[in-house]
Amino acid sequence: MSAVRSVLVCEAQVPFVHGGAERHVRSLVAELRRHGYRTKKVSIPFKPYPKDELLVQTAIWRLVDLSESNYEKVDLVIATKFPTYFVRHPNKVTWLFHQYRAAYDLCGTPFSEFTHVEADVRLRDRLIALDTEVLAESKRLFSNARNTAARLAKYNGLIAEPLYHPPPLAGSLSAGPFGDYVLSVGRLEPNKRVDLIIRALARTDRSIRLIVAGHGTDRRRLDDLAGQLGVADRISFTGDIDDRQLVDLYANAFAVVFPPFDEDYGYVTLEAFLARKPVITTSDAGGPLEFVVDDVNGRVVEPAPEALADAMAGLAADRAVARRLGEAGFERARTITWDGVVDRLVGQIR
């Protein structure tokens, strides 16, 4: 097969939402271009509700044939998250960020609209079967973390190679002083469990502050909770901020708190480490546990407010320990580079 020259990267985009997956796609496109490939992003708006809309979304992507553009052959397509891997192309590689997890492991939890009623079970079974069929078309199948690969093997019987990459802010992050606040970064959605951080903050000394960087559907509930617990004056919600502001927030925190429920990868862990800050996470956080080791480069605690509070208070009281953990985190994160990632995605199709 001739060498790859043109590459299309597929993205399912919820309008006005710009999270980790969107940043991931943007970085991949930039790296492919840097390596000399003619690369474009192909984006289609995504709407997951009502639930039957999910089948419509798979059909939309299935109708898309990216084998040619303006009568010119497209050498390679890289699919990412659900439902982009339904796209048609003879050389389709999937770097799986995640499937529609509400129909997978989150079913029946507070983080999913899927329950175990008959209609939901039928739809869920159909989505999983469709995923299995189209993902198997991939010439090569990668995942963004071991956690994602394990879920793929469990539910779809498919094997993916975990392929790590640096976070988009990797080249900008630097260490700063250890200030008086812990930092939370990410979308304000229930599965990110920012509410758990707020409940923990209420159990700590009033000298500890919390800065929450991000926005999302959970903002109003979090505001109400902060007021109910009497900690609203100790919390700053930044909303949308630019990269420079986020880099500064990382630099001046004394720790980063990241307790999502079974996250797949999560840029936050590596971004914190590259700013030489320790990460406080939970034993059920998923992807962060592929990097955070308790008392080596952070704290891993039970997903309970009192456990998070103890970890926050301990690092606030002993900045030398916080600094030691942060330095160890930096040594771990700096080993993760784009070297080899592009070759793994593109090289085998040459």
Q: Which of 25-29, 144-148, 263-267 shows the lowest per-residue confidence on average (mean pLDDT)?
A: 263-267
Of 323, 247, 320, 317, nearest to 278 by C-alpha is 323
Q: Quick check: 279 and 269 in contact, CB under 8 A? A: yes
Cα distances (angstroms) measured from residue 312 to each of 69, 162, 198: 53, 31, 12
To the question of pTM greater than 0.95 for the whole model, the response is no
Q: What is the 3-state secondary structure (H, E, C) of 120-137?
A: HHHHHHHHHHHHHHHHCC
Q: Which of 54-68, 103-117, 318-332 shows the lowest per-residue confidence on average (mean pLDDT)?
A: 103-117
Q: In the predicted model, is pLDDT for residue 260 greater than 70?
A: yes
- Measured CA to CA, the distance from residue 340 to residue 67 in angstroms comes to 25
Name all domains of the chain by residue range, CATH numbers in brackets: 6-163 (3.40.50), 181-333 (3.40.50.2000)
Q: Tell me, what's the pLDDT at 348?
A: 58
Per-residue confidence band for 177, with pLDDT thresholds at 50, 70 and 90 = very high
Mean pLDDT of 39-63: 95
Q: In the predicted model, is pLDDT for residue 350 greater than 80?
A: no
Q: In the predicted model, is pLDDT for residue 309 greater than 60?
A: yes
pLDDT, tens only, 114-133: 999 999 999 999 999 999 99
Q: Quick check: 178 and 10 in contact, CB under 8 A? A: no
Phi/psi at 330 (5° precision): -60, -45
Strands (E), 100-208: 140-143, 161-162, 181-185
Helices 53-62 and 118-135: angle between axes, nearest 10 degrees = 20
DSSP class of residue 297?
A: T
Over pLDDT 70: what percentage of the chain? Answer: 99
pLDDT, tens only, 130-150: 999 999 999 999 999 999 999
Q: Tell me, what's the pLDDT at 349?
A: 59
Q: In the predicted model, is pLDDT for residue 216 greater than 80?
A: yes
Per-residue confidence band for 1, with pLDDT thresholds at 50, 70 and 90 = very low
Q: Tell me, what's the pLDDT at 267?
A: 87
Q: Tell me, what's the pLDDT at 30?
A: 93
- Measured CA to CA, the distance from residue 87 to residue 236 in angstroms comes to 42
The torsion defined by the Cα of 219, 224, 227 and 233, in degrees rounded to 10, comes to 10
- Measured CA to CA, the distance from residue 252 to residue 234 in angstroms comes to 16
- Measured CA to CA, the distance from residue 248 to residue 10 in angstroms comes to 31
